[in-house]
Chains A and B, each alone.
Chain A
Amino acid sequence: MHAGRFLEYSLHTVQDLVHHKLLHLIEKQANSGDRIDLQVRCLAPDLPKVPFAKAFEEATEIISFRFFVPPFVWQPMKFFGVGSEQRLKEAIRVVHDSAEKMVTDQRIELSNAGSLDDRFDLLSRLIQIKNPDNQGEKGLCGIKMSKTAIEVPPKGGFSFDLCRRNEMLFKKGVQPPSYRKTGTTIVGLIFQDGVILGADTRATEGPIVCDKNCEKIHYMAPNIYCCGAGTAADTEAVTDMVSSQLQLHRYHTGRESRVVTALTLLKSHLFNYQGHVQAALVLGGVDVTGPHLHTIYPHGSTDTLPFATMGSGSLAAMAVFESKYREGLTKDEGINLVCEAICSGIFNDLGSGSNVDVCVITKGQKEYLRNHKLPNPRTYVNPKGYSFSKKIEVLSTKVTPLKERVEVIEGGEAMEE
């Protein structure tokens, strides 16, 4: 029923627009020989000379100029009303005035004609529906006149339109900007008392090592840690997010977090984004049900294993695990095996390097061994060290402790409403 009415309405609108406006415009254009821009929404024949549009464009240009110069250049200009900033002020004034005039005109038309049914633009529709509200309509006018279309997001779910656009651009040969990846070797294994996680510490941006000592073992809960491989931003963001969710869940339930909770939260988030969040994780922890180790892939699938490796160096590390892993390893044997596996990734994979981080989680206790092994020391260190040139002198030194000690006073005054 509604589809029928909508169809009728659209047909009516299009007919009107074509007959009364488009045909006249094309006729005029044929006579005068001017070029017209059919992309602009307004079909009035005297379009090119509207001062409002000119002022709007000028304002946009001047504002973009602001981005090219540092703030200490355009801010004084704005303060003193000099140069381009003065023209900007003028342009903004013209824009505001035109907007107000348009709204007032429409309202006068409404009171004269009784209804604005034959005007199909958004402004008329809303003036009719809403109660007269100056502020709202001026703003609306501004929005309407702006070049960017307002897009109402579709109901529910993530919009993959930009992902498709990116894929299309990539096929055409447009190089995407290089982003920071953790090339990575990450491993985990279950030993007799709990779980040991290991990771290398190299972060790459294309062919360049951008961080020689980054942290890939992320905190999720006091008893759960997660190693992340893939895009560094994605792994950090997703582990931070789930860590906060776990904390809220702990407050809600009053219990220690379970590894399967973290697993389900991570897996459903990654599945919802269909692999576009490129985070491959090794999640390990010890909870009331015992030690657990899981791998989570970017598309949202998970595996539960006694030993696991992920990342570009996973093949090298898995080779070590497959030959040397056995059930019931002691803590030292486990740490040694993990170090060996990570080292094999560090030395045989270009995307992994630098140092080895290890994290041992047992019932009620965790040990985060940052830089447990440093197999890549800096060999040639200048013995003189670095000294600032003589011209630079220290003028003043101020030390501010980041954490202020808070004093708790017993028997202070009670808070009052």
Chain B
Amino acid sequence: MDVGLEDTNAPHSMGTTIIGVTYNGGVVLGADSRTSTGVYVANRASDKITQLTDNVYVCRSGSAADSQIVSDYVRYFLHQHTIQLGQPATVKVAANLVRLLAYNNKNMLQTGMIVGGWDKYEGGKIYGVPLGGTILEQPFAIGGSGSSYLYGFFDQEWKEGMTKDEAEKLVVKAVSLAIARDGASGGVVRTVIINSEGVTRNFYPGDTLPLWHEELEPQNSLLDILSSSSSDPMVT
């Protein structure tokens, strides 16, 4: 009983794989959907891509509480800023606000974020704001515990000037590779595509993802395969 209690009282963290990629005309943000407390999966279908404004979204990783609070504050500040400015906020401003909160509270926060969006001045932009509060403008950014497995993949597969479909396929492939190797990432793959036309949200359930090296077909129940073969369950 005590072990179970300890686990469920552990801070809610998002093991996570988050990705942000620019393409010719916008950005694609992608993330897995697993939130864990210790070794228990508290939410297997969480949405880690949160809206900041109509045209800027942020991928959250690290401590769930910290990243939710930071994105709530930034959404509030951006809303005020938009009213005062009289036009939609730029991605740079949104990313900067995230960075200011992350840097000035670096001792108390444990969250890495990827801010991505589209504005009419700069087009599609991705800004990475990792632990500590650095801000780095990049053509693509990866974050979370699952990103360790993707550095080599992106070095090889990334190219400038991809189309929207190419970019989305790349993101989905990358997240599913990370899910295959990282225990703290899993569930479904969510993507958000932001361009001049607007925002499109997509959802790829776990069973639609390609199978990688030594991965088995998903089963509904082991009883299904048992009944098809012999009645003795212990046959190899």
Measuring CB to CB, which residues of chain A are less than 8 angstroms from any residue of chain B? 183, 230, 267-268, 270-271, 275, 278, 280, 295, 297-303, 305, 310-312, 314-315, 349-351
Contacts and interface: CB of A to CB of B under 8 A. Distances in A.
A259 to B, nearest CB: 16
Mostly, the B contact residues are mixed
Interface in B27-46: 35, 37, 40, 42-43, 45-46
Contact of A299 (B12, B40, B43, B45): B12
B65 interface: yes
B9 A300 contact: no
Contact of A298 (B9, B43, B68): B9
B64 interface: yes
Contacts of B12: 297, 299, 301
Interface residues of B, number: 19
A349 B1 CA distance: 7
A280 B68 contact: no
B69 A300 contact: yes
B8 A314 contact: yes
B43 A300 contact: no
B40 A315 contact: yes
A271 B69 contact: yes
B218 interface: no
A301 B8 contact: no
B1 A275 contact: no
Contacts of A301: 12, 35, 63-65, 68
A351 B7 CA distance: 14
B5 interface: yes
B198 interface: no
A312 B8 contact: yes
Given A299-B11, A303-B46, A311-B8, 11 more contacts: A183-B1, A183-B5, A230-B9, A267-B69, A300-B69, A301-B35, A301-B65, A301-B68, A312-B4, A315-B4, A350-B1
A-B interface, 7 closest residue pairs, ranked by CB to CB distance from nearest: A301-B64, A301-B65, A300-B65, A299-B65, A350-B1, A301-B12, A303-B43
9 contacts: A278-B9, A295-B42, A300-B65, A300-B69, A301-B35, A303-B42, A305-B43, A312-B8, A351-B1
A303 B37 CA distance: 13
B68 A300 contact: yes
Nearest to B35: A303
A298 B37 CA distance: 11
Contacts of B40: 314-315
